[in-house]
């Protein structure tokens, strides 16, 4: 019996060391989505999710590196689902995504904003109500989630593109009729991307809701000791208002008190 216990103890210690060794660095998927994440011409990354992870790293006992992995949005999502990266930030929580990844609660982004549609300034297109979207070619970022009615509507002609920049460019070139975007961040993003927002016009129809952006982890990383430790740090940072200070430079509001429970933000209500 003592021999068996000794074997189990050694096995447990080895498993713990393997778990830590498997995560000597955290691979963070980063797409170019100003103002919340950005990549320069050399592939150097910066953004809110990196700020959060680096804060946790420097204020915990975890001796681990945080490494950005630049990728287009849809590839970032796919890599996270397949466990090729460990973490991605700013994701809307949906039923489909919950089957592929683990969401950390509470969300660190809570935007009381609207999904709006932009067309070319000189187009004759008018969208007064949701049904007016039918028959229009609408650019959407591949892999993104918006609001359920729009996401699930097979009547709409949605043109998938790799990035927001491409989506806006297609509208400006007249190759699609509309692009969907989050109103609170669209103008700022276009300014950062050096795109001529003045050449676009905003349609009257909008869908307003609270948009929650979460940190999401690959399933394997979420089950690791490091992943669980980082999730717990996130919850503590939310409760002691540290997250509020980290999101403030990105012009994001403080986390609403009602979200400071593990169950809050569990359904869809980068933002994408």
What is the spatial distance between Cα 80 and Cα 99, in angstroms, rounded to a whole number? 12
In the chain, domain spans: 2-111+211-259, 112-210
Domains 2-111+211-259 and 112-210 share a fold: yes
Per-residue pLDDT, 221: 97
Residue 39: pLDDT band by 50, 70, 90 thresholds?
confident
Q: What is the pLDDT of residues 161-217, one digit of tens each?
A: 988 888 989 999 999 999 998 887 776 666 555 566 678 899 999 999 888 999 999
**Coil, helix or strand at residue 51:** helix
Per-residue pLDDT, 190: 60
Residues facing residue 39 across a β-bridge: 45
Is 112-210 a domain of CATH 3.50.50.60? no
Q: What is the pLDDT of residues 126-141, one digit of tens each?
A: 999 999 999 999 999 9
Per-residue pLDDT, 183: 85
For the chain, give the mean pLDDT.
85
Residue 11: pLDDT band by 50, 70, 90 thresholds?
very low
What is the spatial distance between Cα 240 and Cα 49, in angstroms, rounded to a whole number? 18
Q: Is the pLDDT of residue 261 over 50?
A: yes
Q: Is the pLDDT of residue 41 over 90?
A: no
Per-residue pLDDT, 222: 97
> E strands within the chain?
25-30, 37-39, 45-47, 65-70, 87-91, 101-120, 137-141, 157-161, 178-182, 200-218
Question: What is the fold, at CATH topology level, of the domain defined by 2-111+211-259?
Answer: D-Maltodextrin-Binding Protein; domain 2 (3.40.190)
CA contacts within 13 A on the Cβ side of 169: 9
Enter the pTM of the model.
0.78
Q: What is the pLDDT of residues 242-260, one digit of tens each?
A: 999 999 999 889 988 888 7
Q: Which one has a higher pLDDT value, 194 or 86?
A: 86
Q: Report the run of H or E that residue 145 belongs to, with start and end.
A: none
């Amino acid at each position: 019996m003592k021999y068996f216990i000794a074997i189990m103890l050694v096995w447990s210690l080895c498993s713990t060391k393997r778990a830590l060794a498997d995560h000597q660095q955290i691979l963070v998927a980063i797409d170019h989505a100003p103002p919340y994440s950005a990549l320069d011409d050399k592939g150097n990354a910066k953004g809110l999710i990196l700020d959060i992870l680096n804060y946790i790293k420097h204020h915990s006992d975890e001796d681990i590196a945080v490494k950005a992995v630049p990728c287009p949005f849809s590839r970032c999502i796919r890599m996270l689902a397949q466990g090729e990266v460990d973490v991605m930030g700013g994701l809307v929580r949906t039923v489909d995504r919950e089957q592929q990844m683990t969401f950390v609660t509470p969300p660190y982004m809570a935007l009381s904003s609207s999904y709006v549609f932009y067309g070319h300034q000189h187009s004759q297109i008018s969208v007064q109500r949701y049904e007016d979207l039918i028959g229009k070619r609408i650019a959407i970022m591949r892999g993104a989630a918006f609001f359920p009615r729009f996401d699930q509507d097979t009547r709409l002609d949605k043109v998938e593109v790799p990035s927001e920049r491409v989506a806006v460019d297609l509208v400006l070139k007249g190759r699609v009729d509309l692009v969907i975007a989050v109103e609170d961040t669209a103008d700022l993003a276009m300014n950062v991307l050096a795109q001529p927002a003045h050449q676009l016009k905003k349609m009257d129809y909008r869908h307003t809701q609270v948009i929650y952006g979460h940190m999401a982890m690959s399933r394997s990383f979420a089950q690791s000791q490091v992943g669980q430790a980082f999730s717990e740090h996130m919850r503590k940072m939310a409760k002691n208002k540290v997250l509020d200070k980290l999101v403030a430079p990105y012009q994001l509001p403080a986390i609403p008190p009602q979200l400071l429970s593990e169950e809050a933000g569990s359904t869809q209500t980068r933002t994408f």
